[in-house]
Amino acid sequence: MRYRLHSKERDMITDFFNKATEDIYNGKTSKEAQNLLPAELVPLAQHRLDFLNNVDCFYDLKSLPELEVRVLHGRRKGQCSIKIAGDYYICFAFDECWYKVKRAVITKLRMRKGA
């Protein structure tokens, strides 16, 4: 089930993959959000989600190396990720034009070296 973001037309993120990610974005401390991400990483995750929501296009993300933006492969083909910290990432897909973010989700991934 996807959770819709009710927001301005200008926003980059159009929907979230789960309630926990949406709650973190909206600053809610739900049980789902607490189970998803350690409390000390929540402010950084919110900052990254806010940044993702306010960029104009994918190329704006790629211009900031500190975000560690990656195009994913394998079972996550068609998605990109932004590193939060450690093994925690924000994964998302773009629309066909690379101008709107779909299905944003915070998840724990293990990246291979050199990937």
- CA–CA separation, 56 and 41 (whole Å): 25
Residue 81 has a pLDDT of 93
Choose which CATH entry (3.40.50.300, 3.30.2310.20, 1.10.510.10, 2.60.40.1730) describes domain 3-108: 3.30.2310.20
Contact 23, 35 (CB under 8 A): no
Q: What is the pLDDT of residue 102?
A: 81
- Whether 90 shows a pLDDT value over 60: the answer reads yes
CA distance 35 to 101: 24
* pTM for the predicted model, two decimal places: 0.82
What torsion, rounded to 10 degrees, do the Cα atoms 79, 85, 88, 93 define? Answer: -20
Segment 110-115 mean pLDDT: 60
Res 4 pLDDT > 70: no
Tokens matching residue 109: 């991934």
Domain extent listing, the chain: 3-108
